[in-house]
Each structure stands twice: as C-alpha cells, then as structure tokens.
Structure 1
C-alpha cells in the first residue's frame, strides 16, 4: 500500500509507472469509500487523479504554486500533501474542508469555492514572483466549465501578454456541473476531434502557447507534457481531456448526478438518505406551468440548474424557455434585464452565495433601469451550505439596499408560491425572492396574492408589550418564541415583514402605542441588515427598545448550524429568556 505512507509530494517523485498506477487506484478506492459515508464532490475528483499525480511528480509544490479553480477537484491534491488521513480514516473525514484552504497546508494558496478565478489569482502570483526576481512555476488548473466565466476570459486576456512563466492546465471533461453551454464549447469539441490541431483555438487567439494531451487520464503522457512546459518563459496552455467520474460506473454514465453526491450505497449508487425539497419541487412545477401558458416566459440558470435541481427531463420540458448561460452570473442578470425590457418575463435562479458576484449588474443593469426581472435566491440561510466560500447569508445587506429592487422573504410554501406568481405577473419592479429554508409548515394567516402595496408587513398575531418581527426563514422562530412567551403570561405581537427592502412605517408607528420592546430576527448578518433598519427608524425614541437577533459580520466556516444558532441566541428558548430579563429591567 502506498497511500498511507505519503506525507508530501516528495514521496511520490521516484515512483515507477506501476507504482503510480497502483497509487491512482488506491486514491480512487479511498475517495469512493469516503464519499459513500461522508458525501462530497465526486466526479471532478475521480477524473483528475492522474493529472494531480503528474503535477506533483513534475512540479515542486509548494515552491511551484498550483492554483485550483473552484477546487471541486482538490481532494486528490490534499491526499498527496499531508492530509491523507482525512481520506482514509473515517474518524478524520471532517478535518479538512471540501476546498483548497491555506490554513490547512502550505500547498494551498487560496480559499477558493467560486468558479473561474484561478487564472486571475495565479496571474497575481506570477506578477509578484517576477517583481521579486524569483523563478518558480505558476500553474492554474481550470476546468472547461469554469472557462465560461467572464473572469476566466479576462484572466486569459491579461496572461496572454505577460511574456513570463505561466502554465494553465485546461481540464476538459466535456461538463460543467451538467452539460456545458456557450459557443466556445463547439471549438473545444473541434480541438478534441482534431487532436488539438483545429485552427480555431481560443488560447492561441489570446496569445498563449498550446499543447494537447488526448488522454488526460494517462499519467505518463501527462508527466511528459508537464515536463516539457516546466520552467517555460511564456504563458502556455496544456489542454488535457479527462473523464469525469472515471473509475466508478455510475459516475461515468451519469456525470451530472455524480458531480456531488450525498452518502450512498457503493453497490447500487442509491442515496442512503433520499430527500426532496418541497420548495424546489413546487418551483419546478411553477416553471413548467409558466412555460406552457406564457410563451414569453424564460428561466435563466448559470451552470447550477437554477439552484433548484432541474433534471435533464425538467430542462427538456422547458425547451427553449430554459437558458443556461454557463458560469456567468453577471451576464445572466444583465440578460434578464434585457429580456424584461424586451417584453419577456424572466426569472434568473441561482444560489445566494453566487448572487454575491452580481452586485453591479443588479444595481446598474437592472435597478437603475427599473427592469421588471425576477431573481430567485436559493440557500440564503445559516441552515444551508456552511463552507466559508459558500455562505449565503450576506444577501440582505447587499441587495436590500439597492434602490428600486423589491426584496421579498416569504415565510411558508404557500406564501412563497404567491410571491413568485405575483413577481412574474407584475411589470413595475425588479424583484428578488429569498426562497425559504424551513419556514412555517403551514401559514398561520391567510396568504395574500397581491404585493403591489410595497412594504406592507403581515401581522400574524396581535399582542402588547413585546413585538417580534421575524423575517422570512425566521418568521416561524418568532412565532415559536411568542408561543412560549404566552405561556409566561405575555401575549406578544408577531409580525412577518415579507419585504426586506423597505419599512412599514405606519405599522412601526402603531407599535409604539402598546409596545415597549421590539425584537427583530433575521437569518443573516446584522451589520447593514434588516433589523438595523428597524432600530434606526426608532432611533432616539425613549418609549421603545429594539433588540436585533442575527449573526455577526464574519466568515463562519464549517460550523454546526445548531451550535451557531445557540451562540447567537437564535432559539426560541433563548429569545424568551432574553425577553423576560429585559422586561424586568
């Protein structure tokens, strides 16, 4: 056995062909077992194993610097850089992140979880190296899906004239998360079909040298190619063709499903704990209904199937009313604005963490022009993805403060569907919707169908002394705390604001008549958030006190959601205890 003995890349540099072959198999076996128990990115890692072995055989990390785009494919790299126990010892599976992380190892240079960044990041390293007079190799490893992102193309354009050592390993497996979209992929296909000789070559057009490796899972061919470009004095692309999911039949046959996989049975590939998200399922039904009844309806995605799990069958049903722009959220937002101005009814859906990339387009291309496009934000919650690169709970300060943009946070499935339908039917405002995570199982009040009266909050329960304003995902938490307060003899007012982008000043003024304590609860950071707007509105008013519940402004990483909630008193019991103490003061 080889894998258990590897503590650094130096350990594999003298391996024979046979030893490298055995090592690759051991790595696949370990990754398969770990993924079946722990879950994680699957297809990208299985496809890149030979390339990572070859990179660490030829180059001298960490002196030579390898930058992983998205870092979906970094597990094999971690196995060869001193972190193998996290992949072969079940008790240590959680000791590394799913992405490159400089805090873990000097072989990692950036925390990277968003796509299309590697060339730009590596170009900065290359320029810094040149300024310092050093000579190490700089390598950016980027997949074909990531190449559709604007930042990747901007990086290529800059690197093309740097005239220095810069090596791009272009990992072409014919897939993003699902299939690739965009005109460049026809030319990549031509390069594959012509063994890299097609005249239409994006990389040469950008001023880079170019090499082609037809079998990117042939470790010896990769070692030869990497050796040929090591210490190059000009930017060069090594185009390697790999098989996503290589070595596991289910992943080879269905690379989309197996891009990322929750724990599964190795023999059957079946999930151990199948789960269906009712919000996603309802959204998919709504999109199909819209596509059938409204020829002007369009759903836009940016390489993540809208963040709602649209299957190949779902996408086929939507037909040309489904547009995947590739990893290009900025383009999607601007295109949505153009669609809305052209009379279409667009929805662009993606994860909240990726909406962070589009502030300027939302402000300039959409809101300044007041284009009535709809934006569906998925996973905006502490109870969703918890890796530092994929946090989705920074959205309220980012988007609730853009003029003209109506930002809605429904609190139940019925309310979400009503908000979604209204948003698509109305043509006066750009609208962003926070898809609920959790929320009320059933709405405790009649759900309205018209939200044209902007910033009109929903009073769930009338009370006195204390008012709890629970936004979106935390509306149900406000209700739960109110129920416990009632058991203590305090009937609190409960309010679901729905609107995150404005204040119901008439309601806030009315609360002063019977209340002395206002509690705001939001599933996000407090600085610049919803609760601070309420507190600022009451300002120096001595009749009423405001307490804001939410998270601190920091990058929480791989946290336990329940522990984080308790740390910030985001449980009904803690809110009640705080309230009883405050009322005694």
Structure 2
C-alpha cells in the first residue's frame, strides 16, 4: 500500500516537520493502515483507532526518547510504534519473532515500559519524575498516557495521591473514551461525565489532590491537543490534560460495536468486520453457559469481574441476573476482597479473571479470603500459554502462586464435561477458596475416563505390561499425555495416564500410584517451579516414595509472543517430546538397579 504522508514518517522528527494542513491526511492514512494490518493479523484495533490524533500530537510536542512517554495498558501503542519507525514490522504483528502487540524495549529506544497490566503508568511516572529531579535532568519531561478505564484501578489512585504532592513536572494525558472493554463504571465515570459536559462545579478530583487540570480537550483535534500539551509543559508541576476520544474512530464496525468486540480481535475481514468461517465452542463460551445454568439453580451464587464482563463469559449471566453480577472496574484487589465480604454475608461469589491478572491480587486471596476460610471461587480464563499477546499475558504463574495459599483447591478441567462437573464441585465447597483454570481457545471434545479412583480419573492403562511410567496430566494436556502413552506403548513401555482433576493440593491417590510405578512424569502448561509436578514431587518425598518424579512444564522465564502450539513445542510439551523424555528417564531408571514396583490391580 502507498501513503503520501505516512510513507514519509520514519521517526518523530519527520512528524515535527510536517505542515499542519498535512496532519488530517496523516491521521486518515494511519487509520487505513491500522484497519488493514490489524484485521489481517489480529490485535487491539479499537483502542488504537481512538488515539491516532492524540499520539500524533504527543510526538509533535514532546521529544521521545529524551522525554519519557509511558503508555498505560500498552495495547494502545500501535500508533506510537508507527510514528517511531516500525511501520514495516506490522506485517509480522504478534508473530513469533515479529512486532509485539505491546511496548517492547528491545524493539525501540522509544519503548520505555513494557506495560500491559493496567493502572501502572502513573506510578512509573511518579518514580521517573523523582529520579530526574534527584539527578538534575531538568531537560527531560515525563508523559503518562492513561485511559479512563485504567484510572479505576487502585494503583492509579495511589499514584495520583503522590503525584499531587509535587513529584515533578509530570504530564498526565487522560484518554477518556468512556470504556475499557465495557463502559467505565463507578463514581469516577460519573465525575468524568460531568467534566466532559461542563456541569461540574468547584475543584475536580485532580485539582483536589494537587494536579492542575486542563480540559476537556477534543482528543481528535490535533491542534487542540498540541496546545494543551504545550501549556502543560509551561507549568512547573503535575498536570492532567483531559482528552475526550472515541474508541474505534474511523472504522464503522468499531464505532457501532456496542459490545466492544473490536477492542481485541482475531483475524477478521476488514470489509465486513466478521471472522472468516465458523469456530468450535470456546472454553469461555462453555463457562458462560454453565454459569447461566448455575445462576438459575443457585440463587446464592453471585459473580464479579474487573471491567471484563464479556471477555470472561459473564454477559449471559448478567442478562438473566443483573442484580447478581458486579463489574468493579480494573480493580482486581478490590474485587477479591469485595468477594470476601460477599462470602461473609452468606453468598458464594465467583470471581472471573484472566489468569494473568490474578497475579495482581495474591495478597487479597491469601489474607482476605483464605485466612478466613471463605467459600470464594476463582475462575481463571486464558490460563497457561495464551499466545500472541506475549509475556505479560501468558497465564502461566497461577498454579505456582495458588499452590502457596493455605486451604486453596485448584481444578483444571480437561474437557467441557469436566468443566461443568468441577465448577459444580467448587460451588459446593464451603470450607475455603477454590479455583478453576482453563486456557484460551476451543474447548475440544470429551475425553472419557476408564475409571475414577477417589477423585482421580484413570484415562489410560497399558495392559499386560509392567507399571513403568505414570503420566500425570494437568487439564487440557490430557490429550498430549494420551498420545504420548501410545508412542511409549509402541516402544514396549507400560504407561498409566491419570487426570487429577483437582490438581492442587496433591491427591494422596497420586502418591500411591507413583509408588507403584518405576517413574512419574507430570505434564502441565504452567511454570515447573512450584507447579503441580513440584508439589507432587514434594508429596512423594514426604511419603518416602523411592521412584523419581519429573516435572514437564514451562521454565521460570518470561516467554515471548507466538502461537500456543509452537510455544508448547519449544518447551517439550508435545506428545513426541513427552514420550522421548519418558523413554530417556525410564532407561535411566532401569539401569539404576531400582527394584521394579509390584503390579497393581486395576482400580474400580
């Protein structure tokens, strides 16, 4: 594609030299570029279409990277990437080794913060401003771009409280489009609505805590945003520039999208705004149906979400039971402790989060829920490797984190049938917290069990062979373990495949089975350190089981973006890799003169 103005932009200096009359054409060309590239690759479309003029203005006023630009919830940084010399990279957007969908320091000196968990930019800005003051770097400025949705997060409020005390000349650019995934909720949203309408009287929230307020400004008027930002730089202190924008601007399918499906998209047809072909039922959709069923049968069940009603599958529950669902904004910590209060009040709350965002509320899970032995259920969508969104969005830490919480029980369903069964079991639990985790993508077909042994499902057992290898599969990796068992059987190795269903804490049946086999391998899509395999190894050590336990999982590293199957393959989580590892360990055990375990009758 050829662009008359955008094609001349290789960095911020080219942007500064443009004549003002060329800027509307540049904005139009950026939107055309975004629609074509993001529809072809998938990614965050709506947020970036809404910040085109705002980002142009920022790079015309400020001198990145000397001036520090921090984008809160960095999915709105695509335009920033285009204006800092990375247009060609959009042909490999979110592909392994290609352009990241978030700021990435190794990509460019203009990316300071790899920021994709919301509500953090103002805290970064507070620290940066203090550092510049102490180092005498008066020539630098700090600019934090934050959305009204991200401003609902607790960290943003904590940072505002400190910024107003004079951390330094920080410019807070508030990108106010009235929504995150869903419309922004709460008293803050009402306050911003009054500021937009000009109906608020007296000092506003920002002025009350010590910031100068400029606005509201039309965020799609480049000259107006530039003027406000230049005025902000003249003030010796923290300033809020309140820019009102329209999410999805310039693309009708995004502008008219009441359910905000254009916030983050897969591959779609740019002309129609629709995904090509059909798709298998997703884990999220399956959960949505189960919650609707449970809501009708269990009036004590309530649901909470952190500004992600539709992405976590609560929209159907909300339509039928609007008084029993609570969207608390981007505030995971508050959501968890609010759930604790609901449980104390006699209800059973279901807290629905992406697994990656669970990290933000571990203290509340530990001290506010578990310490009080409260029946709160956490449903963790996009657990394990998620794929193209990269290191901040892989939900690979949840098992290790939850494994440290006293009284916490964690279930990992292998198929939709088990999701329904385990969700019911979680909601019947009254003695403490529970969690249910499942990945992004299609839910697949039922994997029936041969039998169940005190809660543990036996999925496969090699007949007429010694009990050589026990494969313990966590959740959706049951299929991988079963295919590995077939490969091992071809090599003459006897294999038992089990699904614990409740993966944490360790079911004593697993220790019993490990003692009956020459070797045990766990297979999970979380970090090996502190995960299911590590817990099983510790349990076996405590029981003095002599047979080795080997954990297959993800390394304790931040993994890059790419397709889920490729990332799993890279880390040995394919049937062939699992089988090869089992073979090598089995041969090592066989030559170590370890006595073979005695045969065990098939459990009934």
TM above 0.5, yes or no, is yes
Structure 1 210/408 Cα, relative in aligned 2: closer, same or farther at 3 Å?
Answer: same
Partner residue in 2 for 1:166? 170
- Asked if structure 2 preserves the Cα contact closer than 8 Å seen for 1:439 and 1:474, the reply is no
Deviation digits for residues 483-516 of structure 1 (CA, Å, limit 9, x no counterpart): 2222333331111122232223354235424x21
Deviation digits for residues 98-124 of structure 1 (CA, Å, limit 9, x no counterpart): 111111111111101100010001111
Deviation at 1:581, TM superposition (A): 3.2
Give the secondary-structure state (helix, strand or coil) at the position aligned to 2:47.
helix
- Asked if structure 1 preserves the Cα contact closer than 8 Å seen for 2:170 and 2:239, the reply is yes
RMSD of the TM alignment (CA)? 2.2
For residues 306 and 407 of structure 1, the distance between their equivalents in structure 2, rounded to whole angstroms, comes to 24
The answer on 1:457 being equivalent to 2:452 is: no
Partner residue in 1 for 2:358? 355
The answer on 1:223 being equivalent to 2:222 is: no
Partner residue in 2 for 1:175? 179
Structure 1 559/261 Cα, relative in aligned 2: closer, same or farther at 3 Å?
Answer: closer
Give the secondary-structure state (helix, strand or coil) at the position aligned to 2:51.
helix
Partner residue in 1 for 2:54? 51
- Asked if structure 1 preserves the Cα contact closer than 8 Å seen for 2:280 and 2:444, the reply is no
For residues 94 and 410 of structure 2, the distance between their equivalents in structure 1, rounded to whole angstroms, comes to 39
The answer on 1:552 being equivalent to 2:551 is: no
For residues 577 and 277 of structure 1, the distance between their equivalents in structure 2, rounded to whole angstroms, comes to 32
Structure 1 528/293 Cα, relative in aligned 2: closer, same or farther at 3 Å?
Answer: closer
Partner residue in 2 for 1:268? 272
- Asked if structure 2 preserves the Cα contact closer than 8 Å seen for 1:414 and 1:447, the reply is no
Aligned ranges for residues 433-452 of structure 1 at < 5 Å? Answer: 433-435=436-438, 441-445=445-449
For residues 539 and 507 of structure 1, the distance between their equivalents in structure 2, rounded to whole angstroms, comes to 12
Aligned ranges for residues 10-409 of structure 1 at < 5 Å? Answer: 10-87=13-90, 90=91, 94=95, 95-135=98-138, 136-162=140-166, 164-194=168-198, 198-199=201-202, 201-254=204-257, 256-305=260-309, 307-311=311-315, 315-384=318-387, 386-409=389-412
For residues 167 and 479 of structure 2, the distance between their equivalents in structure 1, rounded to whole angstroms, comes to 58
For residues 162 and 212 of structure 2, the distance between their equivalents in structure 1, rounded to whole angstroms, comes to 14
- Asked if structure 1 preserves the Cα contact closer than 8 Å seen for 2:41 and 2:93, the reply is no
For residues 575 and 101 of structure 1, the distance between their equivalents in structure 2, rounded to whole angstroms, comes to 33
Give the secondary-structure state (helix, strand or coil) at the position aligned to 1:442.
coil
Deviation digits for residues 49-81 of structure 1 (CA, Å, limit 9, x no counterpart): 111111111111111111100012111111111
For residues 284 and 91 of structure 1, the distance between their equivalents in structure 2, rounded to whole angstroms, comes to 33
**Aligned counterpart for 1:536 among listed residues 517, 538, 555:** 538
Structure 1 416/163 Cα, relative in aligned 2: closer, same or farther at 3 Å?
Answer: closer
For residues 510 and 58 of structure 1, the distance between their equivalents in structure 2, rounded to whole angstroms, comes to 66
Partner residue in 2 for 1:521? 523
For residues 267 and 151 of structure 2, the distance between their equivalents in structure 1, rounded to whole angstroms, comes to 29
Deviation at 1:582, TM superposition (A): 3.1
The aligned length equals 575
For residues 267 and 414 of structure 1, the distance between their equivalents in structure 2, rounded to whole angstroms, comes to 38
- Asked if structure 2 preserves the Cα contact closer than 8 Å seen for 1:301 and 1:324, the reply is yes
- Asked if structure 1 preserves the Cα contact closer than 8 Å seen for 2:456 and 2:509, the reply is no
TM-score normalised according to structure 2 size:
0.90
Structure 1 340/446 Cα, relative in aligned 2: closer, same or farther at 3 Å?
Answer: farther
Q: Which runs of 5+ in 2 are unaligned?
A: 589-604
Structure 1 436/567 Cα, relative in aligned 2: closer, same or farther at 3 Å?
Answer: closer
TM-score normalised according to structure 1 size:
0.93
Give the secondary-structure state (helix, strand or coil) at the position aligned to 1:212.
strand
Deviation at 1:552, TM superposition (A): 1.0
Give the secondary-structure state (helix, strand or coil) at the position aligned to 1:213.
strand
Structure 1 426/73 Cα, relative in aligned 2: closer, same or farther at 3 Å?
Answer: same
Q: Which runs of 5+ in 1 are unaligned?
A: none
Deviation at 1:275, TM superposition (A): 3.0
**Aligned counterpart for 1:467 among listed residues 467, 470, 480:** 470
Structure 1 544/181 Cα, relative in aligned 2: closer, same or farther at 3 Å?
Answer: same
Deviation at 1:436, TM superposition (A): 5.1
Deviation at 1:538, TM superposition (A): 3.4
For residues 93 and 508 of structure 1, the distance between their equivalents in structure 2, rounded to whole angstroms, comes to 41
Structure 1 139/440 Cα, relative in aligned 2: closer, same or farther at 3 Å?
Answer: closer
Deviation at 1:432, TM superposition (A): 0.7
For residues 60 and 385 of structure 2, the distance between their equivalents in structure 1, rounded to whole angstroms, comes to 41
Deviation at 1:577, TM superposition (A): 2.5
